[in-house]
Amino acid sequence: MSTTLEDLKPVPVELGGVRGGPDVRTLRRDRWWRNPTATVVFLTVVVVYLTWATFQNANYYVGQGMHRDLISPLYSPCVVGSCVSGARSLFDLGWWQITPALIALAIPGGFRLTCYYYRKAYYRGFWQSPPACGVSDGHTRYTGETRFPLVLQNLHRYFFVLALIQNVILTIDAVVAFRLPGGGGYGLTIGTLVLVVNAVFLWLYSLSCHACRHLSGGHVNRFSKHPVRYRLWKFVTPLNARHMQIAWASLAVVALADLYVRLVASGAFHDPKIF
Ligand code: FES
């Protein structure tokens, strides 16, 4: 019986420590530290903002009183009893007492946290494991993603499927945002555009996911026998090549969409109507 990869026990890799001599961490002369530093700065700013916004539990919905129907992507779907009336979804978990954003963010949070690209970014930026190619690891031991908690990264493909449902919900939010309640009929406002752009970026992020590309074209020996999967694979492959850029952009757009709704809801300014 032949041995497969699954039969092999993972072997922890011992890194050799510093490279280029006992006191030299790397032989690289370029500014290799720029990318990990930019990652740390960007992720820290966005994560701090998103955490703050998550626990505000206010100003996440602009409703009939302002002739708008805008909900922050951080709070949708809003499924707890404390949700403001216009923002509430079809059902509510009456027993949930804290911010509804924690429920709404469970799936997208898990999806982003286990994303292949973000893993690379935060392993390099925060974990220093390793900080860059040709630069020694910040740790002496390396066990990959074979142990708890990092073995949970393998859940990414399931989060991908769940995130598609979340994308549908946020797309409905964007469509509903064309409604101008209170006698306004329908129209396009800056808030509508913000939610539409947010939904587009979320779909781009999901469709460019490595798990999506694998589902489209993986385990296929001959594309000629699977024309539909071939077309899907051809469609998502160019997106997949830009997954890093899309990951950054979509994260920034989510934060900006929340900020926009938050400012309008708090009365800082009125959401301008385009037509
Ligand atoms: S690899 Fe990034 S979302 Fe799947």
Instruction: Give the pLDDT confidence of 157-184 residue by residue, as tens digits.
Output: 999 999 999 999 999 999 999 999 988 7
Closest ligand 1 atom, residue 205 Cα = 3
How confident is the model at residue 184, as a pLDDT? Answer: 79
pTM of the predicted structure, to 2 decimals: 0.88
Q: Each residue of 21-53: pLDDT tens digit?
A: 456 678 888 899 999 999 999 999 999 999 999
Our answer on whether the CB atom of 116 is closer than 6 Å to any ligand 1 atom is: yes
Average pLDDT on 194-220 reads 97
Secondary structure of the chain: what % helix, strand, coil (to 5)?
55, 10, 35
Which protein residue's CA is at the shortest distance from atom 4 of ligand 1? 209
Task: Please give the distance, rounded to the nearest whole angstrom, from the Cα atom of residue 112 to the centre of ligand 1.
Answer: 7
What distance in Å separates the CA atoms of residue 265 and residue 262, rounded to the nearest whole number? 5
Closest ligand 1 atom, residue 211 Cα = 4
Buried b (16+ CB within 10 A) or exposed e, 167-201: beebbebbeebeebeeeeeeeebebbebbbbbbeb
Mutate which of 156, 207, 237 for ligand 1 pocket (most atoms within 8 A of beta carbon) = 156
* Mean pLDDT score of the chain: 90
To the nearest whole percent, how much of the chain has pLDDT over 90?
A: 71
What distance in Å separates the CA atoms of residue 191 and residue 202, rounded to the nearest whole number? 17
How confident is the model at residue 20, as a pLDDT? Answer: 47
Our answer on whether the CB atom of 61 is closer than 6 Å to any ligand 1 atom is: no
Which protein residue's CA is at the shortest distance from atom 2 of ligand 1? 115
Q: How far is CA 106 from CA 76, 101, 227, in A?
A: 11, 8, 35
Residue 163's Cβ-side half-sphere holds a number of Cα atoms within 13 Å equal to 27
